[in-house]
Amino acid sequence: MSANKAYFKAVLFDLDGTLLDTAPDFTTATNILLAENDLPQVKEEEIKSLISDGSAGIVCDVFNIDSSDSLFKKKRSDLLALYSKHLTEKTLPFKGIEKLLRMLGEHNVPWGIVTNKPEFYTTAILDELQLKPNPAVVICPDHVKRTKPDPEPILLACKILGVKVEDTVFIGDHIRDIQAGAGAGVSTIAAAYGYINKRENTSSWQANFTANRSEDLLELIFYQN
């Protein structure tokens, strides 16, 4: 009888657009803010293409301004305040992720999160979702001097987990994730199912593997023995 075995001794995920589908709650917050400013609503698909650039990217796009604009700081602050009130109304793991996490737990493969999302929002979301098993490490910008695409956050996660970089895989839906992983020396999986900007081509990122669907991660991380 065949059994599943993991290719890796640790699995690290980006958060937004890779582990969790957070776009619906970002869309809610953005549309409330737009309504308050008498501006047209945006669709979730548009927000998905902006999330990888964070709240700054969303604000710049929907208000057609850049970060040097006098309105930028206020609008960004307003958006984050609204988002903090709607963090987990619709946010869920992508399809197949919960099964993957269960299998990692069953095979004693630790998993963690390496995100550019601030700790305040990350912790609040994880506390609400109660993923099982819990992540063994969560690295946010608050914990490092340099964020992705710098390899520092991934190297820190591996150090905390006590695993070698060559035994670790990092999964992300932005080129900065793949650059950070490559710089750290871990294997990489491009989450092509995630929040990919329309101008991006994931095949040009030079990831070790590509997951076109979130369900594909299972067979990329486990094999039949």
pLDDT, tens digit, 9 for 90 and up, residues 203-219: 999 999 999 999 999 99
Q: What's the pTM value of the predicted model, to 2 decimals?
A: 0.95
**What residues contact 8, with CB distance under 8 A and at least 6 apart?**
109, 167, 168, 169, 187, 221
CA dihedral 135, 57, 83, 11 (to 10 degrees): -10
Which residues of the chain does CATH 3.40.50.1000 include?
4-22+91-224
- 137-175: b (≥16 Cβ within 10 Å) or e: bbbbbebbeebbbbbbbbbbbbeebebebebbbbbbbbb
Partners of residue 219 on adjacent β-strands: none
- How many angstroms separate the most distant Cα atoms in the chain? 65
Q: What is the pLDDT of residue 74?
A: 97
CATH of 23-85, one of 2.60.40, 1.10.20, 1.10.150, 2.120.10: 1.10.150
Q: What is the pLDDT of residue 1?
A: 35
Placement of tokens 């630790």 in the chain: 110
Which residues of the chain does CATH 1.10.150 include?
23-85
State in words which class domain 4-22+91-224 has: alpha beta
Q: Which of 16, 21, 78, 177 is catalytic?
A: 16
The amino acid occupying position 221 is: I
Residue 14 among the catalytic residues: yes
Residue 16 among the catalytic residues: yes
| pLDDT tops 50 at residue 2 | no
